[in-house]
A and B are shown apart, each in its own frame.
With several copies, the nearest count.
Chain A
Amino acid sequence: MEYKVKIDSFEGPLDLLLHLIQQLEIDIYDIPAAEITNQYLMYVNTMQQLELDVASEYLVMAATLIAMKSRSLLPDHESDEEDFMDEEDPREELARRLLEYKRYKEAAEKLHELEEERAKVHSRPPADKLFESNAEGPLHVSIFDMLGAFQKMTRRKKLAVPPKATVRREELSVEKRMHALKEKLRSAQSPILFDDLFDSHERDELVISFLAVLELMKQNEIVVSQNGNFADLYVTAGGNDDEK
Chain B
Amino acid sequence: MMRNKSIIESLLLAAGDEGLTADQMAAVLEMSTEETVTLLEEMAEDILQDETRGVMITSFGMEYRLMTKKENAEFIERLAEKPSPKTLSQAALETLAIIAYNQPVTRIEVEEIRGVKTERPIATLSARGLIEEAGRADAPGRPILYATTPEFLDAFGLKELAELPPLEEGEATAQQEADLFFGRFEEALDEQS
* Chains A and B touch (C-beta atoms under 8 A apart): yes
Interfacial residues, chain A to chain B (CB-CB below 8 A): 1, 3-9, 11-15, 29, 46-47, 49-50, 52, 55, 57, 61, 95-97, 99-112, 114-135, 137-162, 168, 180, 184, 188-190, 195, 199-201, 203, 230
**Docked pose: A119 CA to B130 CA in angstroms:** 15
User: B58 contacts which of A3, A52, A121 (Cβ < 8 Å)?
Assistant: A121
Q: Which residues of A contact B11 (CB under 8 A)?
A: 159
By the criterion CB–CB under 8 Å, are A111 and B66 in contact? no
Main secondary structure of the interface of B (DSSP, over half): helix
Most A CB contacts (10 A, CB to CB) among B88, B121, B130, B177 go to: B88
B158 near A132 (CB under 8 angstroms)? no
Which listed residue, A123, A158, A180, touches B67 by the CB 8 Å rule? Answer: A123
Q: Which residues of A contact B61 (CB under 8 A)?
A: 180, 199-200
Which has the most chain A C-beta neighbours within 10 Å: B10, B115, B118, B178? B115
Q: Are A159 and B90 interface neighbours, CB within 8 A?
A: no
Contacts A57-B115, A158-B115 given; indicate if A134 touches B87 (C-beta within 8 A): yes
Complexed CA–CA distance, A134 and B123 (Å): 12
Alpha-carbon distance between A121 and B182 when the two chains are bound, in angstroms: 35
State A116–B59 Cα separation when bound (angstroms). 17
Interchain CB contact under 8 A, A103 and B167 = yes
Q: What are 9 A-to-B residue pairs whose CB atoms are below 8 Å?
A: A3-B173, A11-B114, A111-B156, A121-B68, A122-B68, A126-B89, A131-B91, A133-B82, A139-B88
